[in-house]
Amino acid sequence: MRGVVAVGEEGAATRERALRTTVALEGDGTDIARARRLAAGFLARVQAEHGLLVSARAVDLTQLVVGELVTNARKYAAGPVLLDLCVTGELVEVAVWDSDPVLPVARAADAGRVGQHGLEIVMAVAQDFEIQSEPVGKRVTARHALADVPGDALPGRPTL
């Protein structure tokens, strides 16, 4: 994994630059847990090294989104998966690329269905969500706030 890389114009304020890390996941049984740990570590470094406020809720949501998107990629696509985490302004972006060209479709809500709710969950917690066809495969991207909106904090969970 690469470290946190600031991407932006010389002299641009930290909040105006993109902070990014990308990792290739090769498909062993530890990919999902590893990806979730990498996401939490990335956000901790963003806060510690760049002074951005990152709420506990944002860390939890990022780990949830990473877990769901990487699970889907591992389950439905052969080959490697790329996880890209990016902080731009007040948002954290989670993008997962895989080699399967078939675009996922969220299923209608069904409380009786066991499993296959991952895309529904991601869409419910994301402020912005998109699926893109790529020259090879697809990229699924979700974005959400780095810090809680006032009054939106989880009870008993202080911001970091």
The per-residue pLDDT for range 83-128, each reduced to its tens digit, is 999 999 999 999 999 999 999 887 777 777 777 678 888 999 999 9
Tell me the C-alpha distance between 52 and 61, whole Å: 17
Number of CB atoms found within 10 A of residue 58's CB: 23
Tell me the C-alpha distance between 80 and 134, whole Å: 15
Report pLDDT for 46.
95
Element (H, E) at 87: strand 81-88
Tell me the C-alpha distance between 15 and 109, whole Å: 37
List the 5-7 sheet strands across, edge first. 5-7, 18-25, 81-88, 91-98, 138-145, 128-133
Q: Angle of helix 56-76 relative to helix 118-125, nearest 10 degrees?
A: 150
Inform me whether the pLDDT recorded for 157 exceeds 60: no
Q: Which amino acid is at 19?
A: L
Report pLDDT for 150.
56
Report pLDDT for 17.
54
Report pLDDT for 29.
74
DSSP class of 156:
T
| Residues β-bridged to residue 22 | 84
Here the tokens at position 116 are 């296959």
Inform me whether the pLDDT recorded for 54 exceeds 60: yes
User: 5-145 domain in CATH 3.30.565.10?
Assistant: yes
Report pLDDT for 20.
96
Inform me whether the pLDDT recorded for 49 exceeds 70: yes
**Residue carrying structure tokens 């990473």:** 66
Report pLDDT for 13.
40
